[in-house]
Structure formats: structure tokens, C-alpha cells
Amino acid sequence: MPELPEVENVRRSLQAAGVEGSKVERVELLRANLRTPFDQRLIAKTHGQRIERVWRRAKFLLFELSKDAWISHLGMTGSWRVEPKRTGVGFAALKHDHIRVHLSSGMVLVYHDPRRFGVFEAHPGKDLVHSKWLRGLGQEPLESWDGESLHASLRHRESVIKSAIMDQKVVVGVGNIYASEALFMAGIRPTRKANRVSREECGRLAQAIRKVLDKAIASGGSTIRDYRQADGQKGEFQEQLLVYGRAGLSCRQCAQPVKQKVIGGRSSFWCATCQR
């Protein structure tokens, strides 16, 4: 499933391909729905508008247009790719291509999603903060967020720390792999009570979360199976994992065997020596 780093990479690839500033000629819908039905009338209203900015909130890709906006979520297997300008002839859609956005530059922005759990909605106006998808989301880990704000949001949480940092109302985008990795980097056991993690430990943890996400972004994201970046490249992050998926193997810091347990329904990995 695409996680925050993959979505961020899709955003950067779209930006690098020069999608911002392009004018939308036509959104071609190749089926009637994804996870939600397409609102064809609202989508058609965006024809002729310019894509001013492609940004991200949690795992949502947001296309800010001249007047309105599109909200896209990649679901389980979604991806966007840019087909370069072709002179003269068009090109055929691949199986599982569901949306083709024809830009006036000649480029075509294609949404591909075999399992169709993604979302593509046009939003009237640009004020996306109150859209039903973005309402109530926690803080963005890559922006102005630190141990202080993490500590404040954990103060009344009785759950274990690993579940707390995976809660989208606390901080967005910390998936299961990233939670195990960041807790290892910060030296905190995943089973600790969230409200017992000190301010200083929260400082280390917030830094570790940002570091692990930055590393995943730099290596193209974590998901090897289904996911590809907008330029078709695969992620390499899984080859560099510190603790996740390494049950029984030697800890990379102290050589003791890495432990594994299911916490909150998710596989969790830690070192009992390095994490307290």
C-alpha cells in the first residue's frame, strides 16, 4: 500500500515532470467510479483550469487548480504517471488505467489502479482543509512538528506508544514499518504506555520519525510489490531496514536477536537491549 513517502515521491515526480502550470484540457474518465463514484459534472467544471500547485496532506495528493481542486488518494494500488507529449497519434490506455488528464502541453497524466480503492474527487473552490477527507487529520511529520507537540498529544493517551504514533489524529503518515524503525532509532520499546514517554524521549522519537520518512522518500519509498513512482521506478527502502522484518536476526547495534510481537494487530519488531 502506498505510504506517505511514496505519495510524496509521486508529488515530486509530478512536479518534476512540469505538471504545475499546465492547463487541463480534459479529464477523460475510463470508468464510473473508484472507491467513490466520479462526480462527472464537478470534474467537467475543472476543464480549462490551470494546475497551480500539487501538494500533499497525509496520504492525499491535492491538485490546486485556478478555481477548484482535485483530491486524489492512491488507495491500495493506485499510482499516477505522466505520459510525455506524443506528436500526431494518441496512445492506448493500459489495463487498469482509469483516468487520463489531457494537458494543453500535450502531456497526459494517467491514474492507474488495479484494485480501485483509490479516490479522485473534484472539490469546488480551493479551501480543502474542511473537505471530509482532510478534516481531523493530525500534524504533518515533515513540517513544523517536534517532540514538544508529540509530547503534548500523547499526554492523555493510554495506548501503547507504537499504536499512538500510528494514529492519524496524532501525526499522519507513520505506517507500521516506519513506527518500528523510528522506535528502534529512538531507543523506545513499542509496548511502552504512550503517556509514560518523557518529553526528552518524544524529542528523539519525533526526530527519528522525520529521519525514517526522509530516508524512505530519498530511496523512493518502501513498498516493493505494487507501487511504482510516477516515473516508473521502484522503491529501495526495504533493503535498508534496521529492525522491521528481522525477527530472530542479530540487532544491527548490539547483535542480540530481534524480537517480534503483534501489537494492535500489526507485526512489530524491536531489540530488548537497545530499546527501553
**Is 59 labeled as catalytic in the residue annotation?**
yes
140 is catalytic: no
Stated length of the chain: 276
Q: Which is nearer to Zn ion, 109 or 251 (CB)?
A: 251
Q: Is 155 known to be catalytic?
A: no
CB 99 within 8 A of CB 111: yes
Single out the catalytic residue among 2, 5, 141, 190: 2
Q: Which residue in 11, 57, 59, 100 is the catalytic one?
A: 59
Closer CB to Zn ion, 185 or 217, in the complex: 185
Give the C-alpha separation, 184 to 191, whole Å.
12
Q: Is 274 in the site for Zn ion (CB under 5 A)?
A: yes
272 in contact with Zn ion (CB under 5 A): no
- β-partners of residue 110 are 81, 100
Choosing from 3, 6, 64, 201, which is the catalytic residue? Answer: 3
Sequence-ordered list of residues with C-beta below 8 angstroms from that of 114, at least 6 positions apart, any chain: 77, 96, 226
Quick one: 65 or 274, whose CB is closer to Zn ion? Answer: 274
- Binding to Zn ion (CB under 5 A): which residues in 237-266? 251, 253-254
In the complex, least distance from residue 273 CB atom to Zn ion, rounded to whole angstroms: 4
In the residue annotation, 181 being an active-site residue is answered as: no
DSSP 8-state code for residue 225: S
Nearer to Zn ion among residue 228 and residue 259 (C-beta): 259
What DSSP character marks residue 237? G
Taking the C-alpha atoms of residue 162 and residue 4, their distance in angstroms, rounded to an integer, is 17
- Taking the chain, what is the end-to-end CA distance rounded to the nearest angstrom? 30
Interface residues with Zn ion (CB under 5 A)? 251, 253-254, 271, 273-274
